[in-house]
Amino acid sequence: MTEDIRPLAGIRVVEMTHMIMGPSCGMFLALLGAEVIKVEPPEGDKTRKLTGMGRGFYPTFNRGKKSITLDLKQNAGRDALHKLLKGADVFIENFRDRSLAKMGFAPEVLRARYPQLIVSSLKGFLKGPYENRTAMDEVVQMMTGMAYMTGPTGRPLRIGSSANDIMGGLFGAFAVLAALLERGKDGKGHVLRTGLFENCLLLVAQHMVQFDIEGREAPPMPEREFSWPVYDIFETSEGRQIFVGAVTEGQWETSSGWWRAGSRAFRTLDC
């Protein structure tokens, strides 16, 4: 979003989240122009100290935000958070329900105290038998079959990024935008809940529908039946790998010209 297009300018968001799903929700709102204030514990967000694959979590998903440290185990810290919420439009959280209630910040309590506040809860699961369980991206990839569809048969594989967490944050931001539009009509705040598991179900929905239509399990993506004749990875004579996709007649006509001209330069990879 460019600096001159900031649809959420003037909107204040208080974010009390950690890891990726919650912070990415706040990041998307910040990119749209909202003032996002991240609440961290006295020792700082845990992702600040991660190494290896987690090294980029904090700087990636917390850019464009302000930050404040509060000790919510103390009355002074809780009072300070209430002062922030009093002037806020949106509150984002991804704590366990019972932990939030213990601190006195359960969504229903906040809605009663701040009628115009939009409370966005980003959780592992929506209402149901698992609603009090925590979850992580890789966990729900295994539960929903996403990992099965990514790796070859018998070797479930996590996808190569935190795409599910990020998409969950995007859905959370999408819901906040809808709630802001609704508040503009009725003047009331709303309580929202986004589930990581249900988000991942959408990502594998096409395979579930395929099963419903064909009556058989869809093969994993490495062994999938292509819908188009040319949609694969090829290797050049110099050993470079390229992906070629021709999904329409026009694309095939365009690609077949240079394909015929340099056919000796390519051989199909067995993958």
Residue keyed to tokens 């004749």? 229
Within 8 A by CB and 6+ apart from 75, the residues are none
CB atoms within 10 A of CB 147: 21
Structure tokens belonging to residue 103 = 């601190």
Instruction: Point out which residues pair with 40 in neighbouring strands.
Output: 69
Within 8 A by CB and 6+ apart from 207, the residues are 145, 149, 218
Catalytic residue among 4, 137, 165, 270: 165
With beta carbons less than 8 A apart as the criterion, state whether 228 and 246 touch. yes
Rounded to an integer, what distance in angstroms lies between the CA atom of residue 108 and that of residue 94?
A: 15
Rounded to an integer, what distance in angstroms lies between the CA atom of residue 231 and that of residue 213?
A: 23
45 belongs to the catalytic site: no
CA distances in angstroms from 40 to 44, 68, 84, 157, 243, listed in the order given: 5, 6, 13, 33, 43
- Which residue, among 233, 93, 230, 221, has the nearest Cα to 160 in the 3D structure? 221
Q: How many CA atoms lie within 13 A of 209 on its CB side?
A: 6
Supply the residues annotated as catalytic: 165
